[in-house]
Amino acid sequence: MAERVASSAVEKSMGCAELYLHIPFCMKKCGYCDFLSFSADADMRERYVRALIREIKDAGDAFYGTRIVTVFAGGGTPTVLDSGQIRRIFRAVQASFSLDADAEITVEVNPGTVDEEKLVTLRDAGVNRLSIGCQSLDDRLLLELGRIHDRDVFLRCFHAARRAGFRNISIDLMSGIPDQSYMDWVRTLREAAELGPEHISAYSLILEEGTPFWRKRDSLRLPDEDTERRMYEDTRRILSEYGYERYEISNYAKRDRRCRHNVGYWTGVPYAGLGLGASSYLGNVRFRNTDHMEAYLDWFEQTDRALPWPEAPVHCEREALSDADAMAEFVILGLRMEEGISEETFFSRFGKNIGEVYGEILEKHGREGLLEEKNGRIFLTERGFSLSNYVMCDFLPD
Ligand code: SF4
C-alpha cells in the first residue's frame, strides 16, 4: 500500500516540480541552530556526496518527463564541500533531471567557507543565485551567535560573488539577537541594503528547544517585545527606501527577484527533497528521508538497490495529507505572501468555498483588522503581518 501511495504521488507531480538538496555539514554549530547539520571529516563528506549523487540519479528516473523549475541546495552549509564535490553534484543534477532553461538554481553560502575559486566553480556548475548567510554586520553580535565569519569576511565574500558573475544574491539577516539594540538592527539593515543585493531575508531569532541558546535562555538579554515589533515593522519601511518590496512575512526583493523556489513552497508547487532528512511534497503526500547518516549511506552504498525512489527504506516517513490538512497548509502558507490567497484557487483545489470552511475564523480576524478580503483574495493587513503567528494558529486543524 505504502509503495502505491508513493508511486502515485510522483505520477501526480508530473508537470513541474522543484528540487531541494540537503548538505548537512557545517564547520561548527551556531548557538541558535536546530537544522539537521553537524561537522564531519573528509571521509564522511565524500561518502555522503557519493550517496547523494546516487539518490539524485534514482530520483531523476522517477521524475522522468517532469520539468524542474528550481533547484535549491541548502543545509547545513553546502559550501563546506570542496569545488570538485560541488561540480559532481550539479553535473548529476543536470544529467538526471529536465531542468528548465531558465531554472533558478540557488546555493546557500556561509561566507567563512568560500573563496573566489569556489564561487567561480559554483557559477560554472550552473548556479545562478546565492543565498549568503550573514545574519549581522556587527562583529560583537556575530560572535554572540557563534558564526564562523566576521563582518569583513562576509563583505569579501559578497564582493567576490559579484566578481564571479553572480547577479542574483540574497543576504540572510537576523533580528532579535541577544544584546542587539534597535539601532544595531537598523545599522545592519541599512549597510546590507547599501550593498544592493537583489534579495534580503530578515528573520527574527527563534529560541529552538535543544539548542545552546535554549539551554541558556534565562540568562540571554533578548530585545523586549516592543523593540522586536519595532524592528519588524521598520524593516519594511527602511528596505522600501532602497527599492525592496516585502513579498512574504520575512522576505524582501527588488523587482522580479523574489526567490522562486520559496514562492513555490508557499504556493503548493510539488517538490522533491534529496539528502539526509530532506522532505518531499508530491501530490498531497509528504515524504521524509531518514536523518540517520549511517542508514542513509548504507542504503545508497548497496549496489543491488531494487526499489525505485521514493519507495526505498531511507524514505522512512510518509504521510498522505487529509483534506483538512491540505486546506490548512494552503491557507497558512499562502497567507505568508503579501498577495495572500485566491478564493478561486481554493475552490478549484478543494471543491469548497473558503468561507464554508473557515468562515468564522475569517470573520474574527477581519473584525480585528488582521485579515482583509479584496478582489477575490484574502490577505494579512499590515497589523496582521506583525501578528501573523496569532492569525495562522487558528487555521491549524484540531
Ligand atoms: S551555518 Fe547555518 S546550518 Fe550551520 S550551524 Fe550555523 S545556522 Fe546552522
Q: Which pLDDT value is given to residue 11?
A: 54
Residues 66 and 206 in one domain: yes
Q: What is the mean pLDDT of the chain?
A: 94
Give the DSSP letter of residue 113.
G
Atom of ligand 1 nearest to the CA of 146: 6
Q: Which pLDDT value is given to residue 14?
A: 61
Residues 240 and 327 in one domain: no
* 61: phi then psi, degrees, rounded to nearest 5: -65, -45
Q: How far is the CA of 339 from the centre of ligand 1 (A)?
A: 31
Q: Which pLDDT value is given to residue 43?
A: 97
Does 62 fall in a domain?
Answer: yes
Q: Whose CA is nearest to atom 7 of ligand 1?
A: 33
Residues 193 and 336 in one domain: no
**What is the span of the domain harbouring residue 333?**
323-393
Q: Which pLDDT value is given to residue 10?
A: 56
Domain at 256, CATH number = 3.20.20.70
- With a Cβ cut-off of 6 Å, ligand 1 is lined by 26, 29-30, 33, 35, 37, 75-77, 110, 133
State the cell numbers at 263: 514562492
Residues 228 and 371 in one domain: no
Q: Give the Cα-Cα-Cα angle 364, 231, 33 (nearest 5 degrees).
A: 95
Q: How far is the CA of 192 from the centre of ligand 1 (A)?
A: 20
**Domain end point (choices 233, 250, 266):** 266
**Domain end point (choices 231, 266, 301):** 266
Does 199 fall in a domain?
Answer: yes
Q: Which pLDDT value is given to residue 385?
A: 95
**Domain end point (choices 266, 282, 304):** 266
Q: Whose CA is nearest to atom 2 of ligand 1?
A: 76
Q: How far is the CA of 288 from the centre of ligand 1 (A)?
A: 20
Q: Which pLDDT value is given to residue 284?
A: 83
Domain at 370, CATH number = 1.10.10.920
Residues 240 and 334 in one domain: no
Residues of the chain with pLDDT under 50: 1-6
Residues 262 and 354 in one domain: no
Does 285 fall in a domain?
Answer: no
Residues 221 and 360 in one domain: no
Does 36 fall in a domain?
Answer: yes
Closest CA to 75 of 32, 53, 107: 107
Residues 108 and 248 in one domain: yes
Residues 328 and 192 in one domain: no
Does 284 fall in a domain?
Answer: no
Atom of ligand 1 nearest to the CA of 27: 4
Q: How far is the CA of 147 from the centre of ligand 1 (A)?
A: 8
Residues 133 and 214 in one domain: yes
Q: How far is the CA of 27 from the centre of ligand 1 (A)?
A: 9
Q: Which 3 state secondary structure label does DSSP give 26?
A: coil
Atom of ligand 1 nearest to the CA of 29: 5
E strands, 275-323, are 279-282, 285-288, 317-320
Does 355 fall in a domain?
Answer: yes
Work out how many domains the chain is built from and give that number: 2
Q: How far is the CA of 242 from the centre of ligand 1 (A)?
A: 28
Residues 337 and 247 in one domain: no
Residues 242 and 118 in one domain: yes
133-155 as b/e: b if 16+ CB within 10 A: bbbbbbeebbebbebebbbebbb
Residue whose CB lies within 8 A of the most ligand 1 atoms, among 110, 132, 211, for a mutation test: 110
Closest CA to 289 of 307, 308, 309: 309
Does 280 fall in a domain?
Answer: no
Does 198 fall in a domain?
Answer: yes
- pLDDT tens track for 188-240: 999 999 999 999 999 999 999 999 999 999 999 999 999 999 999 999 999 99
